[in-house]
Amino acid sequence: MPTKAIKIPKFKSEAQEAEWWDAHPEVATSIMSRALKAGTARRGPLKTVTMRLPVADVRAAQGLAERRSLPYQTYMKMLLHQALEKALRAS
């Protein structure tokens, strides 16, 4: 079943944009759902991994993730993925 195309208007101000997103939460949900499905399909199944990390590193990741409005574990996973991609390209 094809999904309806999402049309996001151009905004004249941040306030206007915030108002539009507040009035259309289903659009954000749809975008995030598609991104999650695409990411899982592209990378394959997930595996849970337990790691011991220095507390200072975790706190730094939490602070940086908060600035980006992301969960810190998601942020750390993104950083690891980026580092692995960079290392693979360099090899």
Q: Is residue 2 part of a domain?
A: no
In this prediction, residue 57 carries a pLDDT of 96
Residues 6+ positions from 58 with CB-CB distance below 8 Å: 72
Range of the structural domain that residue 37 is part of:
13-46
Query: H helices within the chain, ranges in order?
Result: 14-23, 25-43, 55-67, 72-90
Per-residue pLDDT tens for 55-71? 999 999 999 999 888 88
Q: Is residue 87 part of a domain?
A: yes
Question: In terms of domains, do 25 and 62 share one?
Answer: no
Q: Is residue 1 part of a domain?
A: no
CB 72 within 8 A of CB 61: yes
Q: Is residue 8 part of a domain?
A: no
How many structural domains does the chain have? 2
pTM above 0.85, yes or no: no
Per-residue pLDDT tens for 21-39? 888 888 878 777 777 776 6
